[in-house]
Amino acid sequence: MPAPRFIFRMTHYLDCARFFADEQIRSKNHDKSQLCHQTSYASIVNRRGTDFRTPCGRAVNDHVAFYFSPLTSMAYTIHMGNVDLVDPTGALQGKATMDDRVFFVAGVHKFANSVLPFWFSDIACNSQSPPPRFESDVSKIETHVDWGLFDDGYYAADIPEIGYTGVTKFFANRDDPPRYQDRVRKRMAEFLVRDAIPLSMFDCIITKTDWIKAQVESMMHATGVDLPVLVKRGCYF
């Protein structure tokens, strides 16, 4: 029996207040968009709003994007200090750090009986040659995603409270064995929820430190949101 699959949405902890107030996370292109901190490469983000599309003809940025683990090449490059942090007003705040990042985590099985429209890909959605293949049937997720690169030993980032058994901590491409030659893109396979996802779909929020956990719980106080906030250092580089 395959291990339960989970999806992870990484965001700056200060943006949680907006999500709690709205009781949902919205896509970048939503008509009532949420002004958030930006930690990404602007050129790629812009192309995800125009060039890269799902089979229904909608731009990738019409969806809330998730990855299938917290340990991704994007998280690593943030950890290495290679990505700028831009606040909601557009002001540069220096280099981003994973210390301030949190993960919203949801079980994939919840989408089987959901009315939310979604897609999942086999590689990063901003890939071109070859382009990603998309699927929307949760029952096919075990064959559509190359889980052999996720479930390959040397595990980290487990979250036993929700049944997540972790992921292989290595993701870089290697010439040998051949199955590692495209490992980066395959480990960046995405789960896209169109327009918005209600916070009721999530199992928990993950933080790196007790201090960030306390900040997130303080923001959540007196809202209609009630999600466990767990400190999991192993979900970070």
Tens of pLDDT, residue by residue over 68-91, are 999 999 999 999 999 999 999 999
Q: Is the pLDDT of residue 234 over 80?
A: yes
Q: For the whole model, what pTM was predicted?
A: 0.96
Write the DSSP assignment of the chain as a string of letters.
Answer: -PPPPEEEEEEEGGGHHHHHHHTEEE-TT-TTPPP--B-S-HHHHHHHTTT-B-TTS-BGGGEEEEESSS--HHHHHHHTT-SEEE-TTS-EEEE--GGGEEEEEEEGGGGGG----EEEESS-TT--SSPPPEE--GGGHHHHS-GGGTSSSSEE--BTTTTB--EES-----SSSGGGTTHHHHHT-EEEEESEEEGGG--EEEESSHHHHHHHHHHHTTSS----EEE-GGG--
The pLDDT score that the predictor gives to residue 44 is: 72
- Tell me the per-residue pLDDT of 143-187, one tens digit each, with 9 for 90 and over: 999 999 999 999 999 999 999 999 999 999 999 999 999 999 999
The pLDDT score that the predictor gives to residue 186 is: 97
Mean pLDDT of the chain: 95
